[in-house]
Structure 1
Amino acid sequence: MSLERQIERLNPPQREAVTAPGQTALVLAGAGSGKTRVLTHRIAWLIEVERAAPLEILAVTFTNKAAAEMRERIGQLVPLPPRGMWVGTFHGIAHRLLRAHWRDAGLSETFQILDSDDQQRLIKRLLKELGDETLKPAQVAAFINARKDEGQRARHVDTQGFADRAVLAELYRRYEAACERGGMVDFGELLLRSNELWVQQPVLRDHYRRRFRHILVDEFQDTNALQYAWLRNLAGPDTSLFAVGDDDQAIYGWRGAKVENMREFERQFPNVKVVRLEQNYRSTGTILAAANALIAHNRERLGKNLWSDAGSGEPIRLYAAYNEQDEARFVVEQIEAWTAAGNPRSEAAILYRSNAQSRAFEEALMVRRIKYRVYGGQRFFDRAEIRDALAYLRLIANPADDTAFERVINQPPRGIGDKTLDTLRGEARASGLPMWEVLTRLLQGGGLTGRTAAALGGFAQLIQSLRAACQGQPLMDQALMAIRDSGLKEHHAKDVDGRGEGRVENLDELVNAASLFVNEEEDLDELTAFLSHAALEAGDAQGEAGADCVQLMTLHSAKGLEFRQVFLVGVEEGLFPSQRSIDDPARLEEERRLCYVGLTRARERLCVSYAESRRIHGETRPAMASRFIEEIPAEHLTEVRLRGTVDRPMSTRPSGGFERGSYGHGGSRSDWSPGRRDGGRADLQPPPRRVSAWNDPPKAPDSDSGLWVGQRVRHGKFGEGVITDLEGQGPRTRVQVKFAGAGSKWLMLDMAGLTPA
Structure 2
Amino acid sequence: MNLHPFLHRKQHELGIALNEVQQQAVLTTEGPLLLLASPGSGKTTTIIMRIGYLIEEKGIRPERIKAVTFSRASAADMKERYQAFFPNLEAVDFSTIHSLAFQVVREYLRKQCVTYELIEGEVDRPQYHKRMLLRDLYSQLNEESITDDQLEELSTYISLVKNKLLPNEQWQEVECDVTNAYEILKQYESFKQQTASHLLVDYDDMLTIAHEAFENDNDLLLKYQNQFDYILTDESQDTSRVQHAIIEKLVNNHQNLCVVADDDQSIYTWRAAEPKYLLDFQKVYPNAQILKMEQNYRSSQEIVQTANRFIKQNKNRYDKNMFTENSTHEQVQLKSFHSDREQIEYVIEELQKAKGYQNIALLYRNNSSSIVLADALNEAGIPFYMKDSDHRFFNHWVVQDILNFMRLAYDPTRMDIFEKVFSKFHGYLSKYQVEQARRVSTNQSVFEKLITYGQLKDFQLKKFKHYQSVYQKMHEYSPKEVIRQIRKELGYERVVKDMCKRLGFNEEGLMETLNLLEVIAEKADDMVSFAKRLQHLETLMKESKFNKHQDAVTLSTFHSAKGLEFPTVFMVDLIQGVIPARSDIEAYKEGDKEPMEEAVRLFYVGMTRAETRLELLTYEKKFNAKVQPSKLYFDVNRIVNPSKQKPKPEVKKKQHNPNAIQSEEEVSVGLKVKHRVFGEGEIVDHMSDYIMVQFEGDMKELALKTCVEFGLIEILDQSV
TM-score range, shorter chain: 0.7 to 0.9
Answer yes or no: is the 8 Å Cα contact 2:68–2:97 preserved in 1. yes
Worse-superposed segment, 74-83 or 533-542: 533-542
Amino acid at match of 2:114: L
Q: Alpha-carbon deviations, 1:410-457, whole Å to 9, x = none?
A: 99xxxxxxxx9xxx9xx99xx9999x97xx89x9799xxxxxxxxxxx
Distance (Å, rounded) in 1 between the aligned partners of 2:390 and 2:502: 18
How far did 1:227 drift? 1.1
Answer yes or no: is the 8 Å Cα contact 1:381–1:535 preserved in 2. no
Amino acid at match of 1:89: T
Amino acid at match of 2:580: P
Answer yes or no: is the 8 Å Cα contact 1:284–1:310 preserved in 2. yes
1:91 pairs with one of 81, 93, 98: 98
Aligned residues with identical type, % of pairs: 25
1:372 maps to 2:379: no
Aligned residues: 605
Structure 1's 406 and 387: CA in aligned 2 closer, same or farther, altered over 3 A? farther
How far did 1:252 drift? 1.1
| 1:587 paired residue number | 595
2:131 pairs with one of 117, 120, 125: 120
Structure 1's 271 and 403: CA in aligned 2 closer, same or farther, altered over 3 A? farther
| 1:186 paired residue number | 202
Answer yes or no: is the 8 Å Cα contact 1:223–1:261 preserved in 2. no
Distance (Å, rounded) in 1 between the aligned partners of 2:216 and 2:279: 28
| 1:278 paired residue number | 294
Structure 1's 309 and 433: CA in aligned 2 closer, same or farther, altered over 3 A? farther
1:482 pairs with one of 487, 492, 500: 492
Distance (Å, rounded) in 2 between the aligned partners of 1:538 and 1:111: 34
Amino acid at match of 1:629: F
| 1:554 paired residue number | 557
Answer yes or no: is the 8 Å Cα contact 2:340–2:619 preserved in 1. yes
Answer yes or no: is the 8 Å Cα contact 1:159–1:165 preserved in 2. no
How far did 1:387 drift? 3.2
Structure 1's 169 and 506: CA in aligned 2 closer, same or farther, altered over 3 A? closer
Structure 1's 679 and 14: CA in aligned 2 closer, same or farther, altered over 3 A? farther
Q: Give the alignment of 1:245-324 within 5 angstroms.
A: 245-324=261-340
Answer yes or no: is the 8 Å Cα contact 2:232–2:259 preserved in 1. yes
1:242 maps to 2:249: no
Distance (Å, rounded) in 2 between the aligned partners of 1:468 and 1:68: 60
1:107 maps to 2:123: no
Q: Give the alignment of 1:401-440 within 5 angstroms.
A: none
Structure 1's 681 and 494: CA in aligned 2 closer, same or farther, altered over 3 A? closer
Q: Alpha-carbon deviations, 1:614-666, whole Å to 9, x = none?
A: 22xxx52153453433344555799xxxxxxxxxxxxxxx999xxxxxxxxxx
Answer yes or no: is the 8 Å Cα contact 1:59–1:216 preserved in 2. yes
Answer yes or no: is the 8 Å Cα contact 1:114–1:187 preserved in 2. yes
Q: Alpha-carbon deviations, 1:560-593, whole Å to 9, x = none?
A: 1111111111223333222221242211111111
Q: Give the alignment of 1:418-567 within 5 angstroms.
A: 467=467, 475-476=483-484, 478-479=486-487, 481-482=491-492, 484-485=494-495, 490=500, 494=504, 505=509, 507-511=511-515, 513-514=517-518, 521=525, 531=531, 534-535=534-535, 537-538=537-538, 543=544, 544-546=546-548, 547-567=550-570
1:58 maps to 2:66: yes
Distance (Å, rounded) in 2 between the aligned partners of 1:400 and 1:166: 44
Worse-superposed segment, 163-172 or 574-583: 163-172
Worse-superposed segment, 464-473 or 368-377: 464-473
SS of residue paired to 1:82 = coil
Answer yes or no: is the 8 Å Cα contact 1:59–1:87 preserved in 2. yes
How far did 1:38 drift? 1.5
> Where in structure 1 are there 5+ consecutive unaligned residues?
412-419, 447-459, 496-500, 639-653, 657-670, 683-757
Q: Give the alignment of 1:594-673 within 5 angstroms.
A: 594-615=602-623, 619-624=624-629, 626-635=631-640, 673=691
Answer yes or no: is the 8 Å Cα contact 1:392–1:482 preserved in 2. no
| 1:157 paired residue number | 171
Distance (Å, rounded) in 2 between the aligned partners of 1:626 and 1:142: 27
2:187 pairs with one of 166, 171, 183: 171
How far did 1:105 drift? 5.7
2:18 pairs with one of 10, 31, 42: 10
Structure 1's 154 and 288: CA in aligned 2 closer, same or farther, altered over 3 A? same
Structure 1's 125 and 113: CA in aligned 2 closer, same or farther, altered over 3 A? closer
SS of residue paired to 1:242 = strand
How far did 1:377 drift? 1.3
Answer yes or no: is the 8 Å Cα contact 2:576–2:627 preserved in 1. no
Distance (Å, rounded) in 1 between the aligned partners of 2:642 and 2:88: 51
> Where in structure 2 are there 5+ consecutive unaligned residues?
425-430, 475-480, 644-676, 680-688, 701-720
Answer yes or no: is the 8 Å Cα contact 2:160–2:270 preserved in 1. no
Query: What is the aligned-residue RMSD (CA, Å)?
Result: 4.5
SS of residue paired to 1:363 = helix
1:145 maps to 2:159: yes
Q: Between Structure 1 and Structure 2, which shows a larger proportion of helix residues?
A: 2
Amino acid at match of 1:97: V
How far did 1:274 drift? 0.7
Q: Alpha-carbon deviations, 1:699-752, whole Å to 9, x = none?
A: xxxxxxxxxxxxxxxxxxxxxxxxxxxxxxxxxxxxxxxxxxxxxxxxxxxxxx
Distance (Å, rounded) in 1 between the aligned partners of 2:275 and 2:261: 10
TM-score, reference length from structure 2: 0.73
Distance (Å, rounded) in 1 between the aligned partners of 2:524 and 2:245: 61
TM-score, reference length from structure 1: 0.69
| 1:353 paired residue number | 365
| 1:687 paired residue number | none
SS of residue paired to 2:691 = coil
Distance (Å, rounded) in 2 between the aligned partners of 1:445 and 1:574: 44
Distance (Å, rounded) in 1 between the aligned partners of 2:639 and 2:146: 50
Distance (Å, rounded) in 2 between the aligned partners of 1:300 and 1:600: 20
Amino acid at match of 1:505: G
Structure 1's 269 and 115: CA in aligned 2 closer, same or farther, altered over 3 A? same
SS of residue paired to 1:65 = helix
1:675 maps to 2:693: yes
How far did 1:253 drift? 1.4
How far did 1:65 drift? 1.6
SS of residue paired to 1:16 = helix
How far did 1:318 drift? 1.8
SS of residue paired to 2:110 = coil
How far did 1:324 drift? 0.5
Structure 1's 287 and 242: CA in aligned 2 closer, same or farther, altered over 3 A? same
Q: Alpha-carbon deviations, 1:309-366, whole Å to 9, x = none?
A: 221111122212110011110111011011xxx3x21221111121222344333323
Distance (Å, rounded) in 2 between the aligned partners of 1:186 and 1:655: 55
Answer yes or no: is the 8 Å Cα contact 1:113–1:186 preserved in 2. yes
Amino acid at match of 2:95: G
| 1:573 paired residue number | 576
Answer yes or no: is the 8 Å Cα contact 2:163–2:240 preserved in 1. yes
